[in-house]
């Protein structure tokens, strides 16, 4: 665990201990034309950790998540999932890697309207030509509280329930890392708490690694540490964040 309130650094923590890292970024820069959305960022996410990524609008959070998860390619620098260098992969290989080894949860749930809950949850397995491990599927379904709803379609569920299905879908492949981009932004605080608890449990109960992009200090407080981005750089890390310490740090960014 890095020291709390680590000194600001333009490059972030050096990518040390790759054996223990779920994802490692080395000197990652992402340019969109003249805009530098990520500026020479290095960081490694320890396996079994829960990290919140925070920063003002436009600070580069989504770009960070997209580059770290293989959804987008950096302009320069290297991203590794475990020991796999994503820069060396062709598009089709990257697609497979994302499907089989990474979980995603987005603000908009992204469930398939015509499929029931069970088919939505098992979709990544189906797409990968795999079958569900029945015990794991049952555990995931129970964890998210959807056992009684497996035959329902997304339109029959509340927003919070749909997001719980999306979390189950992200966990069903036992991914090495789950990336969540503002997953609770559209939910009331109590429902948001249920979804965040599921992500916390994924880390505590099964040792998964979670990276959560959020604007919400209360959501960040579920994480082991909060990273602060500003102008495409990691400018601080806060260990064991609380809503209050995150707010205080945020105000001085």
Ligand X SMILES: Nc1ncnc2c1ncn2[C@@H]1O[C@H](COP(=O)(O)OP(=O)(O)OP(=O)(O)O)[C@@H](O)[C@H]1O
Minimum separation from the CB atom of position 224 to ligand X (A): 21
Binding status of residue 35 toward ligand X by CB under 6 A: yes
Binding status of residue 214 toward ligand X by CB under 6 A: no
Interaction mask 106-135, ligand X, x per CB under 6 A: ------------------------------
Instruction: Provide φ and ψ at 235, rounded to 5°.
Output: -110, -15
Binding status of residue 55 toward ligand X by CB under 6 A: yes
Q: The tokens 């995150």 sit on which residue?
A: 246
Q: Which of 56, 97 has the CB closer to ligand X?
A: 56
Check if the beta carbon of residue 204 is closer than 8 Å to that of residue 194: no
197 closest CA partner among 218, 213, 177: 218
Whole-number Cα distances in Å, 42 to 52, 83, 135: 16, 16, 38
Binding status of residue 63 toward ligand X by CB under 6 A: yes
Binding status of residue 211 toward ligand X by CB under 6 A: no
Length of the chain, please?
A: 253
Q: Which of 57, 252 has the CB closer to ligand X?
A: 57
Binding status of residue 217 toward ligand X by CB under 6 A: no
Which residues contact residue 229 at a Cβ distance below 8 angstroms, ignoring those fewer than 6 apart? 53, 54, 55, 59, 60, 61, 64, 235
Stretch that binds ligand X, among 29-37, 39-47, 149-157, 244-252 (CB under 6 A): 29-37
Question: Binding-site residue total for ligand X (CB under 6 A)?
Answer: 11
Binding status of residue 37 toward ligand X by CB under 6 A: yes
Applying CB under 6 A, which of residues 58, 87, 159, 193 lies at the interface with ligand X? 58
Binding status of residue 154 toward ligand X by CB under 6 A: no
Stretch that binds ligand X, among 53-61, 108-116, 124-132, 241-249 (CB under 6 A): 53-61
Q: Which of 41, 172 has the CB closer to ligand X?
A: 41
Element (DSSP H or E) covering residue 96: helix 91-101
DSSP 3-state of 6: strand
DSSP state of 18: G
Minimum separation from the CB atom of position 159 to ligand X (A): 19
Tokens of 99: 């499907």
Check if the beta carbon of residue 147 is closer than 8 Å to that of residue 201: no
Applying CB under 6 A, which of residues 40, 49, 59, 214 lies at the interface with ligand X? 59
DSSP 3-state of 143: helix
Binding status of residue 183 toward ligand X by CB under 6 A: no
Tokens of 4: 């709390």
DSSP state of 241: -
Q: What residue ranges bind ligand X (CB under 6 A)?
A: 32, 35, 37, 55, 57-63
């Amino acid at each position: 665990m890095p020291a709390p309130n680590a000194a600001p650094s333009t490059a972030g923590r050096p990518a040390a201990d790759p054996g223990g890292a779920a994802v490692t970024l080395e000197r990652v820069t992402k340019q969109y034309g003249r805009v530098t959305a990520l500026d020479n960022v290095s960081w490694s996410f320890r396996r079994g950790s829960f990290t919140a990524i925070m920063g003002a609008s436009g600070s580069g959070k989504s770009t960070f998540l997209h580059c770290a998860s293989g959804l987008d390619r950096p302009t320069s620098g290297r991203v590794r999932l475990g020991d796999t260098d994503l820069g060396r992969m062709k598009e089709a290989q990257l697609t497979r890697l994302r499907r089989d080894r990474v979980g995603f949860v987005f603000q908009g749930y992204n469930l398939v309207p015509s499929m029931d809950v069970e088919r939505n949850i098992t979709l990544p397995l189906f797409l990968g030509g795999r079958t569900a491990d029945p015990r794991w599927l049952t555990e995931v379904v129970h964890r998210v509280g959807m056992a009684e709803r497996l035959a329902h379609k997304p339109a029959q569920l509340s927003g919070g329930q749909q997001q719980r299905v999306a979390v189950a879908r992200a966990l069903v492949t036992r991914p090495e890392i789950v990336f969540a981009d503002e997953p609770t932004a559209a939910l009331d605080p109590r429902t948001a708490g249920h979804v965040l608890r599921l992500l916390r449990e994924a880390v505590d109960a099964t040792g998964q690694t979670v990276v959560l992009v959020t604007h919400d200090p209360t959501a960040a407080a579920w994480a082991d540490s909060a990273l602060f981005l500003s102008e495409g750089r990691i400018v601080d890390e806060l260990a064991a964040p609380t809503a209050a310490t995150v707010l205080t740090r945020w105000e001085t960014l």
